[in-house]
Copies of this chain bind each other. A is one copy, B any other.
Amino acid sequence: MPSEAEQLGLPGHCAHCPVRALTVYGGVRSDEAEAIFRMRRDVRQVQARRDICRQGDPITEFLTLYSGWAFRYTVLPEGSRQILSFILPGESLGLATLSAERMDYSVQALTDVTVCVLDREEIADYMARNPDVGRHLQREIQTYQHRCDRRIAEMGRRNGLQRVASLIADTQARLKRRAGAADSEFPFPPRQSHVADAVGLTSIHVSRIFGELEATGILRRIGRRIRVLDQSALERLATTTISARQ
């Protein structure tokens, strides 16, 4: 049965974890919850706008987002920020942290978040010894690399409108995969400055772009949520790859 902590919205035993099935290490074996729970060192809460970890930090833990949104970013010499990716509940703060020595990017809480802390060595061993989990990790790494390639193509060759559309469609697809449910409206906590730093524009120009997306009836913003009104138009803008499959 769920513990008191869980009823307050905090993580209790891994056996009841609602996002375990979404993690790299979870959803594969049936006896895993206990094993994972034994590796757990901490559960940490971080306020929005605070860094969870910083570029250059030595890595001793493996962090998974339990609730809220976060993002990976770097700061360039000129002082501008580039958001590398947004992180959703169940996703790790970086698969590279399984083996790297130091963070080569920073991670910041976008909303208030809760983070699960596993012992880095233990989870790495667990994943190495467990073939199913290892394969799953392999697959995750691979899809992440494909994502990166698409991202590079997008930043290099597509204009602001397309890039913003792509970010929104991508987010929608990721959320849909985990919820399954309502897909035309979904939470979207990033501010325009986050969108700007993610797609490589200024927040001012992102404002113009959102204006255009609303003016053409493609979507509407409602609080910190987005409702897609013309799905196919959105996807037409967002499509990066030629459909090679016939």
Contact = CB atoms under 8 A, between A and B. Distances in A.
Interface stretch (A69-77, A176-184, A214-222): A69-77
Interface stretch (A26-34, A224-232, A236-244): A236-244
A111 interface: no
Contact of A155 (B54, B78, B200): B200
Given A151-B152, A200-B155, A142 B74 contact: no
A56 interface: yes
A245 interface: yes
A171 interface: no
Interface of A: 54-56, 72, 74-78, 80-82, 84, 95-96, 99-100, 104-105, 138-139, 141-142, 144-146, 148-153, 155-158, 197-200, 239-242, 244-245
A158 B76 contact: yes
B156 A200 contact: yes
Contacts of A100: 142
A158 B81 CA distance: 11
Nearest to A82: B153
B55 A104 contact: no
Contact of A82 (B99, B104, B157, B200): B157
Q: How many copies does the complex hold?
A: 2
A96 B145 contact: yes
A136 to B, nearest CB: 12
The secondary structure that dominates the A interface is mixed
A74 B145 contact: no
A80 B152 CA distance: 13
A91 to B, nearest CB: 15
A138 B138 CA distance: 10
Given A82-B157, A239-B77, A145 B142 contact: no
Contacts of A75: 242
A174 B149 CA distance: 20
A225 to B, nearest CB: 25
A242 B155 contact: no
A149 B105 contact: yes
Q: Which of A142, A156, A157 has the most CB of B within 10 A?
A: A156
Q: Which of A138, A198, A239 has the most CB of B within 10 A?
A: A138
A152 B153 contact: no
A157 B239 contact: no
